[in-house]
Structure 1
Amino acid sequence: MAHSQSTPAERDALFAVLADPRRRRLLELLEHLEPGRRTTLSDLSERLAAAEESTEREQRQNVAVTLRHVHLPKLDDAGLVEYDPETNVVETVDRTDDRAELGRAMPATEE
């Protein structure tokens, strides 16, 4: 979605991807990396498990499995990360355009 004007369907798809709390936490962790920086599934799994306070080995394995098979592919499809399932490498992407587009797509809220 990294283009200046997206369609309503593209915005809806992006909002659907971002609706999941684990994917949002993962993107928050990746925010601290420069665009184009690479990391591994293993590193992300450990960092996300720590952020979620998953201390049991089975919980940490569950984080890794769901990242590999669910969350990273969805984020990759949405253009929010580049994920290679063969090498388990995740590359960050510049999301500046996406944030601006989301800001325009969000309805104003009253406090």
Structure 2
Amino acid sequence: MNRTDSEASTDALLRAIADSQRRYVLRELADASASEVTVDALAEVLLDGPTSRSSDRRSRREIAIQLRHVHLPRLEDVGLCRYHEDRDVVEYCPDEFVESLLDLLERRASPEPVTED
């Protein structure tokens, strides 16, 4: 059975957003007031954000390196952002389907409110 380009594209997209840090980066880019965000600003957000772990002792510099060499290329490969290396900024490429998926995943991850009868 041959895989279609559409199936391969969907699989690549799902792999790209499977990582919690990449999902957080996408949400930050989508919510940013500016059209571009610096890699250092994204690194700072990841350092202090919900995807950071208390046992994780990475520096902002290490996170920025990981963004440049791992996370941003993955997101760029599936068309969700553009990394402008010359200015070290990231531009978000809006995608309604991905934003719907991110919303769904955020709702699923949020604890359900406790109701009293």
- The alignment's TM-score, normalised by the length of structure 2, stands at 0.67
Long gaps (5+) in structure 2: 102-117
Match for residue 93 of structure 2?
93
1:29-48 aligned within 5 A: 29-33=28-32, 37-48=35-46
Change (3 A) 1:53 1:9: closer
Q: Which has the higher contact order (CA 8 A, sep 6+)?
A: 1
CA-based RMSD of the aligned residues comes to 2.8
Query: Once the 2 structures are TM-superposed, how far is the Cα of residue 89 of structure 1 from its aligned partner?
Result: 1.1
- Identical columns (%): 35
Encode CA deviations 1:7-60: one digit per residue, 9 max, x unaligned. 1110001011111111111112122126x8111111111112110447887432
Q: How many residues align?
A: 96
Structure label with greater radius of gyration: 2
> In structure 1, what is the Cα distance between the partners aligned to 2:20 and 2:97?
22
Query: Once the 2 structures are TM-superposed, how far is the Cα of residue 97 of structure 1 from its aligned partner?
Result: 4.7
Long gaps (5+) in structure 1: 1-5, 103-111
- The alignment's TM-score, normalised by the length of structure 1, stands at 0.71
